[in-house]
Structure 1
Amino acid sequence: MPPTRWRADPMNKQLSRRGFLASSAGLVIGLTLPMAGRAQSGAALAFEGDGTEGTFAPNAFVRVAPDDTVTVMIKHIEFGQGPNTGLATLVAEEMDADWSQMRAESAPANTELYKNLAFGMQGTGGSTAMANSYMQMRKAGAAARAMLVAAAAEEWGVPASEISVENGTVSHPDGHSSGFGALAEKAAMQTVPQDPAVKSADQFRLIGTDLPKLDTAAKSNGTATFTMDIYRDGMLTVVVAHPPKFGATVASYDDAEALKVPGVEAVHQIPQGVAVYATSTYAAIKGRNALTVEWDDSAAETRSTDEMYEAFSAAAAEGGRDAEVHGDGAAGIAGAAQVIEAEFRFPYLAHAPMEPLDGVLEVREDGAEAWMGSQFPTLDLSAIAGPLGLDPASVKINVLYAGGSFGRRAQDTAHFASELAEIGKAAGPGTYKLVWTREDDIHGGYYRPLTVHRFRAGLDEGGALLGWENVVANQSIMAGGPMAQMMQDGMDPTSYEGSSNLPYDLGHSRVGWAAQENPVSVLWWRSVGHSHTGYAAEVFLDMVLEAQGKDPLQGRLDLLREDGDRYRGVLEKVAEMAGWDGTTVRDGKGYGIALVKSFNTYVAEIAEVSDQGGFPKVHRVWCAVDCGVAVNPNVIRAQMEGGIGYGLGSVLFDEITLGDGGEVQQSNFDTYRMLRIHEMPEVVVEIIQSDADPTGVGEPGLPPIGPAVANAWRALTGKTVTRLPFTANMEA
């Protein structure tokens, strides 16, 4: 019996939806398609939301249109880090498509189809987009290619083994040739291969090349759609008055003056604060400014930053719980002839993405639809459905481009989606755009945790390293939320990652963690724990090497464990790039080196720094990165450059401080200082050639820049910066 085929019918949306879901659900790599559905798997010719008659959809990721364009459904949010381009490259490689025909589209919220294989839910983070998708997307492309070839073989009456595909053209030596689109209908009749063969590395034509990013043009000409661009008929803009202190709640409010503001339609109290609904953003903000709110501070944080530092420092001095112990641990320092000690202090940091948090929600009696830059769609879907009393199946999330995140949108508590749902619940059916202003973002918490590192190292009489201890005191990001299940015996590895598992032979060593509790909300920040552990460990290591009279490069190389080949590779490469000769100061400039592995990617950096009026000027940075197979070197270099710039701004200028009484003292870019264009150093990036599976590049460029600059500054001036940012240290 011939396989069943269905065609989209605009008069029968339900048939279209059922056909698409039946065909797609069985094509997620690793799932077995039910026998009854095999003929339709990928046979979908157009589906709801596509609207193009004749579109060939062989699986959840690949769409081939009649005009030969290939659209890849990207399961990871695109906010500048490149998954649209990187994942489309994998599909194009295995399909033997021409890059000019490739397109990318954000996948909607659908955990079954689009889950992150590293998380088990749909979400982006931890530099896992490429790592978890590498083989999945290649097999999706290979399956599509195999079905197109099978269709051509049937159409032309020739063996499939004689057919070739190159640059988007399917051809046979007898003269037959076709684009993908002309074969779409017949390809839809083919059985989907369950485990298609993929290319060997020596067959790659696109992987490893500098392909232009697919979304550059749209982002440059203004046609790319961000949440802030969404306007729907009858939509009200909403801003929320949040408590000025963490842990405070609404005691009472008076909205009389707010309701007098032209354009303000309503005011409602929600669990997060007091929401003002208006016909424009301007009116909503004016209405919020006119509110009178009394806050209950009885459970609020009222300590200042300085008070927190002292409390965290005392906790670190007590030693905390064992996170990692080798040999005799801290006891190995007891007999040392020389003990080196240091304490490092790291402030709360805001993410400050260019586009603050925003979302649009349409609430109907039978469901809801949202448009937002959702980083964790699985969690956001439930967070919207819950307050509205809806079945999650009746909620749709359209994942849009986002103007940066750096961790800000990766909310395990889905607090923004919850707030979006609450404004819909309070006002009833309608369409609402929730907007956080820059001040809301800077004041709003979910910061990188304030952290104190306490170090000790012991040397024997000959200068050999006997022992090493690092105690970290900070808040857990995971505790109290859905991610708490990832903690191990109450220990949060993201709090001290990068302090543990160092590549060096440190003798007897111990890493401790002193967990701190605080109403200030915290969240992963670009490179998470490595953003502070990389700085602390690599700056302290330089102090130890100086005490030993060793060269910073050779000292690191000498300490590397036997399994440290990839660490050695990036260290030796960056030294070669910078012309390192063991001289840390020359021609009025200091040179510092740092080595950090994060998210399974190895990065070494050397910074060139001068002293300009008592403050460092960073002129050049050399960066060597080993991230396995370099799918798109252009994207990798861009991410290293971006991580270096973002990280440099944070160590030089950025901190969130709480004043006496516990209120945040920063509010916008005038008080939360970002790196400016003239302060961006020249960056030279070299990628280590590798055949290892690809790892992440969105975050690993950041951790080494701070310690590289600090080590250069110390070599140049003799000053060790132990409290970040540099501005706070200079003032001290």
Structure 2
Amino acid sequence: MTTTRLSRRAFLKTGAAGGLLCLSFALQESGRFAQAAEAAPAIPSPNAFIRIERDGSVTIVSNKSEMGQGIYTSLAMLIAEELECDWNRVKVVSAPLGAIYGHTVFHIQLTGGSTSTISSYDQYRKIGAAARDMLIAAAAQRWRVPATQCRAENGLVFNNANAASLGFGELSEAAAKLPVPDTIALKPRHRWKLLGTRVHRLDGPEKLDGRAQFAIDVRLPGMLTALILRCPSYGGKPKHFNADAARAVPGVKAVFAVSNGVAVLADGFWPAKKARDLLQAEWEPGPNGGLDSTTLRDEYRALAARPGQVYRRAGDAEAALKGAAKKLDAWYEVPYLAHSPMEPLNCVVWLKPDGIEIWSGTQSQTIDAGLAAGMAGLKPEQVTLHTTLLGGGFGRRAVPVGSDWLREAVEVAKRHGQGVPIKLVWTRDDDLAGAYYRPMWLDRVRGGIDARGKPVAWLQTGVGQSIIAGTPFESALVKDGIDATSVEGTVGMAYAVPALQLDLHTPKSALPVLWWRSVGHSHSAFSKECFIDELALLARQDPVAYRLALLSGAPREQGVLREAARMAGWGRKLPKGHGLGVAVHPSFGSYIGQVVEVSVKGKQLKVEHVWCAVDCGVVINPDQVAAQMQGGIVFALSAALFGEITFKDGAVEQKNFDSYPLVRMFQAPKVDVSILASEEAPGGTGEPGGAPTAAALANAIHAASGKRLRALPLSRHGYVAV
């Protein structure tokens, strides 16, 4: 049993007059997030994490955004397990703005980096346990018995002496008036009833029947819809425009210039879209006017030909390479990628004389609220932000300098005037051309093996833009010029290589880039796991056995690798044209092993099957872990097979899903997931599943066809997914 001391000052009790028990508190975190152990922020009233109505129903407030990853259900399970409430009477709502809802590490409201469960695991259990103890204390006072004579179960408090019971709703008002217990006791794992079980998602029914509200669903009286015509090259400005034809479209209310284009306001999306299509504009192309993908690739290759800034060194790698029995020099390339969430970027802004009200599917509430307040000349407390459900995020809805679509919406609202709600909507074309991509990346990896096949040297030079430079996170995540997100996945590489030199070039560009599902691991896993595979084949050794031998100091990686190989029947005889590829990669506190089976016939490629083993520590809901692995794998396959954003004369060449395709159902493989039992602290699951997929796929293609593909997407090589 775990006992934790709580400060009374860290608790807030509100709503007693309304018959509610509302509990919230900020807890210092330690251990894996020791750097976050600062004084808890002031707790603004009436913020709360738990609300118990008189009828016994329980509302749990989520301080993380729900974008399909299932965090509403996970957080509710954490509280419900300790609270001992009736799970069938639990619902979840999104947190309002408030310091109390800040991330336990970053101290702002933010969802990302696969940290939601990691950061909330202890916090939300402690919230539930404290509420349970206060309810028990209230019942004990009413019965005039010791609290130790009482227990909570399924939304009731029982008197163990006579089986009398009181419902949580009957006790909520009295419990709210009690002091916070000095200590709380968390349930040991062997007493868990809910955690670790397969629980249906709480947001599932409303998404199935259409009740779920995303920002794009928001409708307000008198609301206008805004679309913006933007320069073909990112960062360009309008010089002149003709809006005569646009203004003549029925339903159009206004057309005017904004800082990055021309805005059209209408009484619905379609008149705004039709009018925008009729606009004629001349542009000042801006700093990206000459951007060209072919030229950029050549520049990256020139940089990779010489060492950059070293961020990890062991031994004398150059000397070791010279003495190697066999050598390998490989170049791995991945392109810019768009996030392409199902729900296009959008928000609703209502500028009023006394404040601003926003409806947005955002991952970064604190940053966006600050952005809106600054632009509107308001105090922070004059901003009301409603976080709706998000139709996918993948990092795009967590812009560290503030959401660009919100910036546009506030500007349009200010220009049009107060009192009218404005819904700003991006089309899919806008999304693909709107920058904030996963960075284009190039890795040159040189290595050598000795006469026994063991690696003796590994030299890797990476080239790619920094995601973090120029953002509020720079001071924490960029050290000595090295962006931690650029080198994650390589800086901690576990393969036992005696001589290493890892270095980095960080070219600057006016084109903004952003974290994309699995962030730096999306390129580092590809180069690392392809190169180790190539070394294994150079040594004429089995790729799985070769990895296992080099991972003697990494038991969790060995565990998922063995399990994935077992699942796939590694070593079995395959039909002609079939091949198995393997990859193993840790990220965000979790460990993933994958085997991919492909069949190749000429240029026709079919991804037949993916086996995924995951060790993510303590599991909250196995169904959600499996779903995140499956979704991450298909997401990564879309990128590996087809995904790339390219530029010519500054403009993005991809316009919609016809030229930026995603994996369709007939192209999707069967995916089997095995979750390893673990006593370790929870890891993230939203991003790790896709990190090793591209490498396992490329390794499988080589096994099937003998062709080594080192540049993504595979469609660039003429392959067609069937």
TM-score by length of 2: 0.93
Q: Do the aligned partners of 2:234 and 2:433 also contact (CA within 8 Å) in 1?
A: no
* CA displacement at 1:694 relative to structure 2: 0.6
- 2:498 equivalent in structure 1: 507
Q: Is the 8 A contact 2:577 2:601 kept in 1?
A: no
Q: What per-residue deviation string (whole Å, max 9, x for no partner) do you get for residues 328-347 of structure 1?
A: 23443122232101111111
Structure 2 SS opposite 1:58: strand
Residue 470 of structure 2, aligned match among 468, 472, 480:
480
Structure 2 CA distance for aligned equivalents of residues 389 and 362 of structure 1: 14
In structure 2, which of residues 336, 348, 352 is the aligned counterpart of residue 364 of structure 1? 352
Q: Which residue of 2 aligns with 1:589?
A: 578
* Aligned residue in 1 for 2:445: 455
Matched, 1:150 2:141: no
> Corresponding residue for 1:545?
536
Match of 2:515 in 1: 524
Alignment-mate amino acid for residue 133 of structure 1? S
CA shift in 2, pair 1:584/1:512, >3 Å: farther
Question: Secondary structure of the residue that 1:340 maps to in structure 2?
Answer: strand
Shift of the 423–193 alpha-carbon distance from structure 1 to 2, 3 Å rule, reads farther
Match of 2:149 in 1: 162
CA contact (8 A) 2:16 2:177 kept: no
Q: Which residue of 2 is the match for residue 635 of structure 1? A: 624
Letter aligned with residue 106 of structure 1: S
> Deviation of residue 269 (structure 1)?
2.1
| Preserved contact between residue 43 and residue 190 of structure 1 (Cα < 8 Å) | no
Q: 1:137 and 1:675, CA in 2 relative to 1: closer, same or farther beyond 3 A?
A: same
Aligned-pair CA distance for 1:681: 1.1
Residue in structure 1 matched with residue 32 of structure 2 by the alignment: none
Partner of 2:690, secondary structure, is coil
SS of 1:132's partner is helix
Decide whether the 8 Å contact of 2:6 with 2:184 is kept in 1. no
Deviation at 1:194, TM superposition (A): 5.2
Residue 8 (structure 1) aligns with:
none
Q: How far apart are residue 31 of structure 1 and its match?
A: 8.2
Q: Which of 127, 149, 152 is 1:140 aligned to?
A: 127
* One-letter amino acid of the counterpart of residue 290, structure 2: T
Amino acid at match of 1:549: R
Are 1:377 and 2:348 an aligned pair? Answer: no
Pick from 57, 61, 65 the counterpart of residue 22 of structure 2: 57
Displacement, 1:362? Answer: 0.7
Deviation at 1:32, TM superposition (A): 4.4
User: Per the alignment, do residues 720 and 613 of structure 1 end up closer, same or farther by CA in structure 2, a change over 3 Å counting?
Assistant: same
Q: Bigger shift: 527-536 or 333-342?
A: 333-342
Which AA in structure 1 matches 2:495? Answer: Y
Give the AA of the match of 1:203. Answer: R
Q: Counterpart of 1:703? A: 691
Q: Read off the aligned partner of 1:596 and give its amino acid letter.
A: H
Q: Equivalent of 1:91, from 58, 79, 97?
A: 79
Establish whether residue 79 from structure 1 lines up as the match of residue 70 from structure 2.
no
Change (3 A) 1:252 1:481: farther
Q: Which amino acid aligns with 2:622?
A: P
Q: Is the 8 A contact 1:237 1:435 kept in 2?
A: yes
| Inter-CA distance 298–126: structure 2 relative to 1 (3 Å threshold) | closer
Take 1:194 and 1:637, find their aligned partners in 2: how far apart are those partners?
38
Give the Å deviation of 1:349. Answer: 0.6
SS of equivalent residue, structure 1 residue 595: strand
Query: Does the C-alpha gap of structure 1 residues 64 and 298 become closer, same or farther in structure 2, counting only changes over 3 Å?
Result: closer
Name the aligned partner's letter for residue 527 of structure 2: A
Distance (Å, rounded) in 1 between the aligned partners of 2:78 and 2:613? 24
CA distance in 2 between partners of 1:266 and 1:481 (Å): 34
For 1:609 and 1:198, locate their aligned partners in 2 and report how far apart those are by CA, in whole Å.
47
**1:253 corresponds to 2:241:** yes
- Inter-partner Cα distance in structure 2 for 1:70 and 1:458: 61
Provide the C-alpha distance between the structure 1 equivalents of 2:67 and 2:667, rounded to a whole number of angstroms. 23
Q: Is the 8 A contact 1:139 1:195 kept in 2?
A: no
Q: 2:339, 2:15 → 1: CA distance?
A: 42
Give the residue type in structure 1 aligned to 2:447. A
Q: 1:298 to 1:166 in 2, by over 3 A?
A: closer
RMSD, aligned CA: 1.7
Q: Using the alignment, how far apart are the partners of 1:31 and 1:296 within structure 2?
A: 59
Match of 1:644 among 614, 630, 633: 633
Residue 15 of structure 1 is matched in structure 2 by: none
8 Å contact kept, 2:235–2:260: no
Conserved? CA contact 1:384–1:420, under 8 Å:
no
**How far apart are residue 519 of structure 1 and its match?**
2.2
CA distance in 2, matches of 1:71, 1:287: 44
Alignment counterpart, residue 45 of structure 1, candidates 16, 21, 29:
16
Stretch of structure 1 that moved more, 445-454 or 334-343: 334-343
Cα distance in 2, alignment partners of residues 586 and 242 from structure 1: 52
1:399 aligns with 2:387: yes
Match of 1:607 among 574, 596, 600: 596
Q: Which stretch has the larger CA shift, 207-216 or 97-106?
A: 97-106
CA distance in 1, matches of 2:333, 2:589: 26
- Confirm whether residue 444 of structure 1 aligns to residue 443 of structure 2: no
Output the CA distance in 1 between the equivalents of 2:338 and 2:718. 21
The offset of 1:416, in angstroms, is 2.3
Q: Report the identity percentage.
A: 40
Query: C-alpha distance in 2, partners of 1:230/1:66?
Result: 31
Query: Does residue 209 of the first structure (1) align with residue 200 of the second (2)?
Result: no
SS of the residue corresponding to residue 141 of structure 1 reads helix
One-letter code of the match for 2:471? G
Question: Residue 456 of structure 2 aligns to which amino acid in structure 1?
Answer: L
Distance 2:559 2:6 in 1: 39
Q: CA 1:195–1:287 in structure 2 vs 1: closer, same or farther (change >3 Å)?
A: farther
The reply on whether 1:125 has 2:112 as its aligned counterpart is: yes
Q: What amino acid is the match of 1:552?
A: P
**Do the aligned partners of residues 731 and 142 (structure 1) sit closer, same or farther apart at CA in structure 2, a change above 3 Å counting?**
closer
Instruction: Deviation per CA, 1:386-427: give whole Å up to 9, x if none.
Output: 111111110010001010011110101212222221111111
The more displaced of 173-182 and 548-557 is: 173-182
Q: Does 1:568 align with 2:558?
A: yes
SS in 1 for 2:505: strand
Say yes or no: does 1:102 pair with 2:102: no
SS of the residue corresponding to residue 592 of structure 2 reads strand
What's the secondary structure of 1:309's corresponding residue? helix
Q: Which residue of 2 aligns with 1:724?
A: 712
| Distance across 1 between alignment mates of 2:435 and 2:653 | 12
The counterpart of 1:666, out of the listed 639, 650, 654, is 654
**Residues 1:270 and 2:258 are matched in the alignment:** yes
* Offset at residue 613 of structure 1 (A): 4.2
Three-state SS of the structure 2 residue aligned to 1:449 is: coil
CA change 1:331–1:411 in 2 (3 A) is farther
Question: How far apart in 2 are the matches of 1:522 and 1:125?
Answer: 16
Contact 1:156–1:176 (CA<8 Å) still a contact in 2? no
- Distance in 2 of aligned mates of 1:31 and 1:427: 50
Worse-matched range after superposition: 697-706 or 299-308: 299-308
- Structure 2 residue matching 1:164: 3-state secondary structure: strand
Q: Is the 8 A contact 1:584 1:712 kept in 2?
A: no
Residue 314 (structure 1) aligned with residue 285 (structure 2): no
Per-residue CA deviation, residues 616-671 of structure 1 (Å, 9 max, x unaligned), is: 21111111101110011110000001001111111011111112x12111111111
1:467 aligned onto 2:438: no
Deviation at 1:586, TM superposition (A): 4.7
Contact 2:530 2:695 in 1 (8 A): yes
Measure, in 2, the Cα distance between the counterparts of 1:89 and 1:106: 15
Partner residue, 2:29: none
Alignment check: 8 A CA contact 1:118 1:128 kept: no
CA distance in 1, matches of 2:614, 2:21: 39
Distance 2:531 2:218 in 1: 49
Which residues of structure 2 form unaligned runs of 5+?
25-47
Question: Are the equivalent residues in 2 in contact too, given 1:629–1:691 (CA < 8 A)?
Answer: yes
Aligned positions, number: 690
Kept in 1: contact 2:236–2:260 (CA 8 A): no
Q: Which amino acid aligns with 2:21?
A: F
